[in-house]
Structures are given as structure tokens and as C-alpha cells.
Amino acid sequence: MKTCDTHPRYLGLRKPRSKCQKCVELFELKNATCNLCGLTCNLEGDIPRKFASSYGLINASVSGGFDSTPGNGQGALDDMTQYQFSLCEFCLDWLFERCKVPPRVTDYIDYRDESFRPAAERVAKDEWRKQKTIFFVEKEQRDKARNDALRVFYLKNVDAIVA
């Protein structure tokens, strides 16, 4: 069992990493799972990198309020309840593409707005992107995992959807 020698210790006692809250948080951050496709949000690929991390919306949380609690209020999320989830970049891109109002996309360098283009279009059209094959292999995997999850959902709810 590895001990934590990075984070503050209680009375100078070293804790095993599994009992150090900071270590556990870091581990969860690094190993977040996308709730939609079920795959990892960590994009380290075939070569594990020391500082590889999760990409996307990681450990996001949302709560309802008194006025939104469904059945008692006008919303869909319960009051006094936290919903925590992560979404990988591929699932975010998939969601963005389906949004009636696309997300606002702004360049960090000159703060100019550009219109949203799905990742596949950017990779296919932009000359400067070199690792096109890697992208499409990864995208195909994620699309398949997400489609499998959506298929299960639709089969379970087919009556409600048709009605």
C-alpha cells in the first residue's frame, strides 16, 4: 500500500493514499468515467503519461431548488440533492452538435467568436490537424459505446416514445 507524502498529514502521521482525501480526489479526477458513453475521460492513449488527466466536463455537479423540485415545483431536479457526472469531450461535441442553440465558441487568443463546427468537420477540413486517423478511431469507439447506451434506453422506453 503506497503512502501519501504529498499532502498535509494529521499529527505527522502518513496515511495510505487510499485514505488521503486529496489523493482520492486526484485519482478520481484522473480516472473520471463519462456518464454518457461509459468510457474513460482520461485521454492518455497507448502511452501512459505521468500527468495524463481527464478531459471534458469532469465531476460536474448540479442541484435543484425548492421551486424546481419536480412534482412540488416547476423543474426536473430535486432540491437538497446533488447530481454529479462527467462527460468526455466526444460526448460534449455530440451534445453540442444536437443543440438547437449551439454553444458560444470563443478563441482564447483574440476573444473572437466563431461558429460551432463539430469535431469531425474540423478534423476533416483543417489542414493543420495531423493526427486525423487517431481522432477518427477514437471517435468511432466513443460513438459506438454511446449508441449502445442510447439503444438500451430507447428499447426500454420505446412505448413512451412512440405514444
Shorter beta-carbon distance to Zn ion: residue 78 or 143:
143
Q: Which of 58, 88, 119, 123 binds Zn ion (CB under 5 A)?
A: 88
State the nearest-atom distance from the C-beta of 72 to Zn ion, in Å: 32
Q: Which of 9, 22, 144, 156 binds Zn ion (CB under 5 A)?
A: 22
Is 123 a binding residue for Zn ion by CB under 5 A? The answer is no
Is 119 a binding residue for Zn ion by CB under 5 A? The answer is no
Is 20 a binding residue for Zn ion by CB under 5 A? The answer is yes
Query: DSSP letters along the chain, please?
Result: -PBP-SS--BTTBPPBGGG-HHHHHHHHHHT-B-TTT-SBSB--TTS--TT--B-EEEEEEEE--TTTSBTTBSSSS-TT-EEEEEEEHHHHHHHHHH-SSPPPEE-TTT--EE----HHHHHHH-TT---HHHHHHHHHHHHHHHHHHHHHHHHHTHHHHH-
Q: Which of 3, 7, 28, 29 binds Zn ion (CB under 5 A)?
A: 7
Q: Which of 32, 57, 91, 119 binds Zn ion (CB under 5 A)?
A: 91
Q: Which residue ranges make up the site for Zn ion (CB under 5 A)? A: 4, 7, 20, 22-23, 34, 36-37, 88, 91
